[in-house]
Structure 1
Amino acid sequence: MSALSFPYHEPREGFWGEKTSTLNFCEEDYVISYYCAEVCNTLTNLLFLCLGVKGIRACIKYSHPRIFLVAFVGYIVVGCGSTFFHASLKYYMQLIDELAMIYTTCFMCHATFAYGRSRGFSFCLGAGLVGLAWFITARYYQTKDPEFHQTAYAILTATVVFSNMWIMEKMVRPQLKERQENRPRNSTVPSSDAILSQMWMMVAVGLSIFLGGYVIWILDNEYCGKIRKWRHQIQLPWAIVLGR
């Protein structure tokens, strides 16, 4: 295995120059590439880009409301911002990454609570969310406190997740059952229970991935010194599995 591995570079100043971001993760800067500060954190953002493209294609194919199309464009902006942030560790790229997370979640809030409501309600909700996004932006830019951003993002995300879980049971399930009762017996459309089971499975998988990532992030911060030591012991490319 040692014949198929090579050591890290020593931490150094890279292509993008001095780090100006207020956050820096456990992955050591420029030890893999001179042109990319955090290679592993940069590459994992491909998931955001793929999810955004897939969501946009689904919105166009099934003619979903435009707000969902905008939200998936937001996913791509988050992915691009996070890519350049972790590659350069520049503060303005950090803001693109973190504020895009807030704005995209606000779009999802609007999509969740404005669906099926009047134009007046949708307008008032949109104005309120714009005001909330402006407040979070101004406050975060003033304080540069990552905990404020993380708390705001967590509250917005929890609001979207739990409200959609309530909607699935209180609104979607009765509608699906009513449609099922009106279908002919030989219909090939899946039953309402099958559709809801698939939706709940997606919720469970999404929450598991989200919470799993959060736990890994906590462990990464808590045991950063040990993780860095293990990386240097097993060397590249195997150490990438511990990269974060």
Structure 2
Amino acid sequence: MVANILKRLPSVNYPPAQEGRWSPVTSTLNWCEEDYYATVYAAEIVNTLTNTWFMYLSAKGIRSCLTNGHGTVFLVSYIGYLLVGTGSFLFHATLKYPMQLIDELSMIYTTCLMCYVTFSFDKTRSYRTILATLLVGSSLFITLYYHFLQDPVFHQTTYAILTAVVFFRAVYVMETLLRPKFRSQQRANSGSKAVQEREDQRDLRILKEMWVMIGWGLSIFLGGFFFWYLDIAHCSTLRRWRREIGMPWGFFLELHGWWHLMTGLGGYCYIVWGIWLRHCLNGRQDEYELHWPQWTTMPVVVKTQKAANRRSNGHGGGEVKKEL
């Protein structure tokens, strides 16, 4: 029914695929979007342009880190996130193997960085040094082995495992170190009962906010994976439908482009969650807050007005513990 409605709308017929500025294709992957049908300067125009979403979100994250004083490791994470979007932009524009490596390996490196963030909290300098060494070594091994193997399944499997490990570890840390029932003994002698109750209620509210963000971000991220699968499994059908309904309506059936948009948002939400979690673990819940007025806006962790006023008056924000 939807297809019949779209066929009646004004449209432009798809031109045939052609040779382009960057021909021939040397990448080990070529997605369902036809090559060079719209312009000779971009092999997959929709898949290329949807990566500007990564660039926008990374710029927003970098600005937030510089404005609100988040840890340096999160600034580097957003720079890595920008590299992912830039690499993917260049890969889909050219379909060249070196650009494919920039795209895929930057995903591994950024995830390893978030792995360091997640596993290094409240650890000794020796532990963090060993962890960093192991992650750098793992990244180097993955890089060399993938270049030798040239099998995209290896990259996809490695990325999925790393992402799952980081996610579940972060959830474990969040629950065990913020949930009041797990922290009651730790707080038993930390202050009056009234203060402890206020902090417990505050942390329960924060945990609720975090779980809403987790549910939202994870749903979007997994939805992107579903579109990624459909794009591969039903490519011939999607191509036929696109040509039947014409441009620009066929662009909406470029499911790999939706994968970029959805996983880009999911990844951004994960980094914001990591920033908020790190501030909370450092006991700075009263200095920062999650600003997310509605689901149609991008969440961001900002300084509270009270903390901003205190800093503008020349007073420090208290001891900063374990910030990286």
When normalised by structure 2's length, the TM-score is: 0.70
Q: Which amino acid aligns with 1:93?
A: M
The answer to whether the aligner puts 1:96 opposite 2:107 as a matched pair is: no
Partner of 2:89: 83
- Once the two structures are superposed, residues 2-52 of structure 1 have per-residue CA deviations (whole angstroms, 9 ceiling, x without a partner) of 573111110111111211110011111111222111111112212211221
Which one of 37, 42, 57 corresponds to residue 48 of structure 2?
42
Greater than 4 Å deviation, 4+ residue runs: 175-181
Count of aligned pairs between the two proteins: 242
Gaps of 5+ in 2: 1-6, 257-324
Partner of 1:232: 243
Aligned identity (percent) is: 48
Per-residue deviation, 1:141: 0.2
Partner of 2:165: 159
Distance 1:173 1:184 in 2: 13
Partner of 2:253: 242
- Choose 198-207 or 91-100, whichever is displaced more: 198-207
Per-residue deviation, 1:184: 9.8
Q: Which amino acid aligns with 2:106?
A: A
Which one of 136, 155, 165 corresponds to residue 130 of structure 1?
136
Per-residue deviation, 1:118: 1.3
- Choose 213-222 or 175-184, whichever is displaced more: 175-184
Per-residue deviation, 1:153: 0.5
What is the Cα-based RMSD across aligned positions, in Å?
Answer: 2.3
Which one of 20, 33, 36 corresponds to residue 30 of structure 1?
36
Q: Which amino acid aligns with 1:15?
A: R
Partner of 1:182: 195
Partner of 1:108: 114
Distance 1:211 1:242 in 2: 18
SS in 1 for 2:13: coil
- Choose 110-119 or 45-54, whichever is displaced more: 45-54
SS in 2 for 1:182: helix
Q: Which amino acid aligns with 1:212?
A: G
Q: Considering only CA atoms, is the larger Rg found in Structure 1 or Structure 2? A: 2
Distance 1:184 1:222 in 2: 53
- Choose 56-65 or 103-112, whichever is displaced more: 56-65
Distance 1:112 1:43 in 2: 32
Q: Using a 3 Å threshold, how does the CA distance of structure 1 residues 113 and 233 change in structure 2: closer, same or farther?
A: same
**2:52–2:85: 8 Å Cα contact kept in structure 1?**
yes
Which one of 188, 202, 220 corresponds to residue 213 of structure 2?
202
Distance 2:235 2:197 in 1: 60
SS in 1 for 2:179: helix
Partner of 2:322: none
Which one of 212, 224, 230 corresponds to residue 223 of structure 2?
212
When normalised by structure 1's length, the TM-score is: 0.92
Distance 2:101 2:194 in 1: 50
Q: Using a 3 Å threshold, how does the CA distance of structure 1 residues 173 and 57 change in structure 2: closer, same or farther?
A: farther
**2:83–2:106: 8 Å Cα contact kept in structure 1?**
yes
**1:46–1:79: 8 Å Cα contact kept in structure 2?**
yes
Distance 1:52 1:227 in 2: 31
**1:176–1:192: 8 Å Cα contact kept in structure 2?**
no
Per-residue deviation, 1:120: 0.9
Q: Which amino acid aligns with 1:193?
A: L
The answer to whether the aligner puts 1:223 opposite 2:229 as a matched pair is: no
Gaps of 5+ in 1: none
